Structure 1
Amino acid sequence: MSVSIQPRAAGKKAFITGAAGGLGAATARMLARHGAQVFLTDIDDDAVAAVAHEINDTIGATVAWSAAQDVREEAIWVERLEQAVQAMGGLSVLVNNAGIGSLGGVEQIELKEWRRVMGINVESILLGCKYALPYLRQAQPASIVNISSLAAFKVDPDYTAYNTSKAAVAMLTKSVAMDCTKQKIDVRCNSIHPAFIRTGIVAPFFDALGEDEATRKLTRGIPMRRLGEPDDVAYAVLYLASDESRYITAAELVIDGGARAI
């Protein structure tokens, strides 16, 4: 007896922030390959448009759209979600991927920088969930995936704002998940916590130190002794976005080569 293989995200309509490169772009490509429509946003309009065009060329159909977005701006969230719903005919997945790093201990960091990090890494997720939920409620079963970091659990005193923001994402995710269960709606909300992934964020280490030394330094706290690849995270998003994970909410999915265990 033959068994038909269906794309894992067939029929899903996903909104992905920070999608001009790195994890956001990898996630968009992954979801599109598995049957989803994707609406990509990023503060870099040209770069995110290029990713959408690439996806459409690869798939051979219009399954991706893009627009510029500063995720800190409340009014822009409302506009972009409306635009996405019109383009895709609905919304069933929100991937809050946009985020930034920041260096500075508690005595060094400026209040302006602290607020910038919190605005992009935390408040944007609050806004995304707040304004996406009315659409997600109409598309049950639906899913919210928030990209956090291993830094939510393993603290480096030189990354005060970043550590704090990523820990806040983990708790905000649980709050949203419990709010949805309280409302008795089938909208799940989970967070993903990667260690170092081979994206543009770590490129300066390789430029400065070379492949071997950069890898050694970045993986010294990772038992598997290697960096993750963007698709390692994108596959996790695919699982959480798909109906395969219907019984998972308020979870923290750690993708770290074993680093949290030590």
Structure 2
Amino acid sequence: MPRLDDKVVLVSGGASGIGAATARLVVREGGKSVVADRDEEKGRALADELGASALFLPLDVTREAAWQKAIAVTAETFGGLHGLLNAAGIGTRTDIESCTLEDYRRVNDINALGTFLGCKTVIPAMKQSGGGSIVNISSVLGLRGASYALAYCASKGAVRLLTKHVALHCAQMKYNIRCNSVHPGYIDTPMVAPRLTQNVGNMSGRQWLEELHPLGRLGEAGEVANMILFLLSDEASFSTGSEFICDGGLTA
């Protein structure tokens, strides 16, 4: 039996990277994917590729009304909502002295505020569907610091503890809704791509990032999506409020 048989999953940031890989897996495993993203061209192309089991919806994750509309259309189209992946995210390379207020707000609005709005808005729809699973993309930099990524670290640390609150609240309220965070290392996605050509000392950016991981390479979006698939499925029925790390040994 497919692992997500008849489950409906909304994926923010679904047009590329980890979000797109997850949207593909959801359909492959018998579910329905809602590809939600600001990039309409890529999002529609992916939904078209996935066929009748997918739907593209425009979504600015920083706007509560946009979330409300996306979730309402999802439930109306597919008859319910059982999973949410909060994958929309951005990053900047700044430290405490160089980071502007504008940069800090922009990163935290998308990464932290966007995840908050997704979790808050989806809960009523999941309750009506009998429960579900929320997966929030944090980062290894939500578990440890980095001198070059102030706003990103702050936002991903916020996602980690927001996840725990959502998990405990939903458990206490008996909603049958689980919530977990996934913490990738450096994954070969469009967000990381600009780093690969920026030299670090006598190494290329790619070499430098690869050497951070004991496995000696960058991760692939599909590898993270496999972990997300587990958390969205009933196989993870006793997992909530936890961090799941997919980082090639980086944090070890």
TM category, shorter: over 0.9
Matched, 1:256 2:212: no
| Among 226, 229, 234, the residue aligned to 2:220 | 229
Deviations 1:140-192 (A, max 9, x none): 34100001111112211221010010010000000000000110121000000
4+ residue stretches of structure 1 with deviation over 4 A?
A: none
Residue 213 of structure 1: how far off its partner (Å):
3.9
Please give the TM-score of this superposition, normalised by the length of structure 1: 0.92
Q: Is residue 213 of structure 2 the alignment partner of residue 218 of structure 1?
A: no
Structure-2 separation of matches of 1:213 and 1:113: 26
Instruction: Name the aligned partner's letter for residue 181 of structure 1.
Output: A
| C-alpha RMSD of the superposition | 1.3
Counting matched residue pairs gives 249
CA distance in structure 1 between the aligned counterparts of 2:196 and 2:141, rounded to whole angstroms:
21
State the alpha-carbon separation in 2 of the partners of residues 136 and 201 from structure 1.
30
The aligned amino acid for 2:141 is A
Residue of structure 2 in register with 1:152 after alignment: 142
Equivalent residue, structure 1, for 2:2: 7
Name stretches of at least 5 consecutive residues in structure 1 with no aligned partner. Answer: 1-5, 57-61
Counterpart pick for 1:88 among 64, 69, 78? 78
Say which is worse superposed, 197-206 or 24-33, in terms of deviation: 197-206
**Preserved contact between residue 141 and residue 243 of structure 1 (Cα < 8 Å):** no
Give the one of 104, 109, 117 matched to 2:99: 109
Q: Secondary structure at the match of 1:170?
A: helix
Residue matched to 2:49:
54
Q: How does 1:1-262 map to 2 (within 5 A)?
A: 6-56=1-51, 62-207=52-197, 213-261=204-252
Q: Secondary structure of 1:260's partner?
A: coil
- Say whether the 8 Å CA contact 2:197–2:204 is kept in structure 1: no
Determine the C-alpha separation between the residues in 2 that align with 1:241 and 1:173: 14
User: In structure 1, what residue type is equivalent to 2:230?
Assistant: Y
* Cα distance change, pair 24–204 in 1 and its aligned pair in 2 (3 A): same
Q: Which runs of 5+ in 2 are unaligned?
A: none
Q: CA deviation at 1:7?
A: 0.6
d(CA) in 1 for partners of 2:107, 2:217: 28
TM-aligned CA deviation for residue 132 of structure 1: 0.5
When residues 54 and 255 of structure 1 are mapped into structure 2, their CA distance, relative to the original with a 3 A threshold, is same
Q: Would you say the 8 A contact 1:195–1:228 is kept in 2?
A: yes
Q: Secondary structure at the match of 1:220?
A: helix
Offset from partner CA, 1:73-132 (integer Å, 9 cap, x none): 111111111011111111000111000001211111111111111110011111111111
Inter-partner Cα distance in structure 2 for 1:216 and 1:172? 33
Whole-Å separation in 2 of the counterparts to 1:208 and 1:161: 20
The residue type equivalent to 1:166 in the other structure is: K
Amino acid of the residue matched to residue 149 of structure 1? S
User: 8 Å contact 2:197–2:206 — kept in the other structure?
Assistant: no
CA distance in 1, matches of 2:198, 2:205: 8
In 1: Cα distance, 2:192 partner to 2:45 partner: 22
What is the distance in 2 between the residues matched to 1:94 and 1:113? 27
Kindly provide the amino acid, as one letter, of the partner of residue 227 in structure 1. Answer: L
Does the residue aligned with 2:13 lie in a helix, a strand or coil? coil
CA distance in 1, matches of 2:196, 2:154: 26
Alpha-carbon offset, residue 204 of structure 1: 2.6
